[in-house]
Amino acid sequence: MSATFGFEAHPAPVEANERTRLLENPGFGKIFTDHMAMVRWSDARGWHDAKILPRGPLTLDPATAVLHYAQEIFEGLKAYRLADGATALFRPGENARRFRESAQRMAMPELPDDLFIGSIEALVKADRDWIPTIEGGSLYLRPFMFASEVFLGVKPAAEYLYLVLASPAGAYFKSGAKAVSIWISQHYTRAAPGGTGAAKCGGNYAASLVAQAEAIRQGCDQVVFLDAAEHRWVEELGGMNLFFVFDDGSIVTPPLGGTILPGITRDSLLRLAREQGITVREEPYAIDQWEADARSGRLVETFACGTAAVVTPVGRVMGRDREFTIGGGGPGQVTEALKAKLTAIQRGEVADPHGWVHRFG
C-alpha cells in the first residue's frame, strides 16, 4: 500500500493553555499528544487501513497472541523543531531498517520504509504543536508492532497491529547529575549468542528490569551487562551503548555481533569521531580491564549513548566486589565535544554533510 494516511481528528484535544503548561517540564515518557498512527496487517490483506486517529485505549481479547508469546518490536526516534520553522527527524531511514530487521528476527511482517517514515511524518504534522520549545526539548516517537491475532497456538501470528505514539520529552535522567553511575550485573545477562540481542524487542527490556531494579537499590542510575558466555566482556547498558575514551585520544566500543543492539546514535558517533581524526576501535573490552584502566588513569572518559538520552557521561562504576571512578567523575572533553557536534546536526544548527537530517513540514 502507499504511505497515504487517513485522518480522524481528536474530538476533544488538550486545550492550548493546558498543553503549554505540560510542555514547560515534560520529563520523559509520561505525557502524550492527541493522536496516534495505526496500520494493520493480515495474511489475507497485507498492510492496510493506515490512519491517524485520536490516541486512546486499545481493546484486546485475552487470547491476543502478543500477551502470551511476546511477539512485539519497537523503535525510538525524535522530532525536532528547527530555527527556520521546519520540523526534522534524525536518520529515520536507519530506524526503518532496524525495525525491518527486528521484524525478521521475531518472525513478523516487514513494514516498508515508506510506511514507517510516512506514519511518523503524518503524526508529527498532526501534533506539531506538542514539540517543546524548552532547551533540549523534542518530540519522542515510539513506533511499535505486536501480534494481534486471537489464537493460542505457538506460531507466527496471522495478524499484526502497528502504531506510533508521540510524547514530548525533556531530560531523560531525572537526577540531573552531570554523570551517571553504573551497576555491574553479575547474576543476569541481557542477551546470548543466537538470541534476540540485536533486535529491538520488548522481551530484551523486560529481562533487563530486574537488574535495573538492583542497580537502583544500590544507588546507581543504570545497569551494565557482561557477555553471557564468559561473563567477562562489557556489552551494553539496559538501553544504551557504551564508549571508552583513553588518554591517547583513542576510543573503544564493544563490537556488534548479535548480542548488542546496533544503535543509530552509536553509529553516528563512530562516524563523527573518525571524521575528526580520532582512532576508534570496535573490539571487546573486559570488565577487569575497565577497572584497571580507570585506576591507572589510562581511561579518562566513559559515556553511554542512545536516542532518548543522546550522550550521557559515566562517572562511577560499582559492583559486588568493585567500585571505581572514571576520570574526574564528570563529563570529559571528548564526550562533550561529540555530544555537541551530534546535537547541533540533529537540530540543524551546523552543516549536515551526511544528509542525516530529514526535514519536512
For residue 200, indicate whether it is catalytic.
Answer: yes
d(CA 150, CA 65): 6
User: Cβ neighbours of residue 32 under 8 Å, at least 6 residues apart?
Assistant: 55, 165, 166, 167
Maximal C-alpha separation, the chain: 62
- SS3 state at 300: strand
Whole-angstrom CA distances from 285 to 34, 252, 255, 272, 327 are: 45, 8, 9, 21, 18
Per DSSP, the residues of 96-149 read: HHHHHHHHHHTT-PPPPHHHHHHHHHHHHHHTGGGS--STT-EEEEEEEEEE--
Amino acid at 310: V
d(CA 249, CA 212): 31
Give kind and range of the element (H or E) at residue 292: helix 287-296
Please pick, among 125, 155, 178, 200, the residue that the annotation labels catalytic. Answer: 200
Residues belonging to the active site: 200
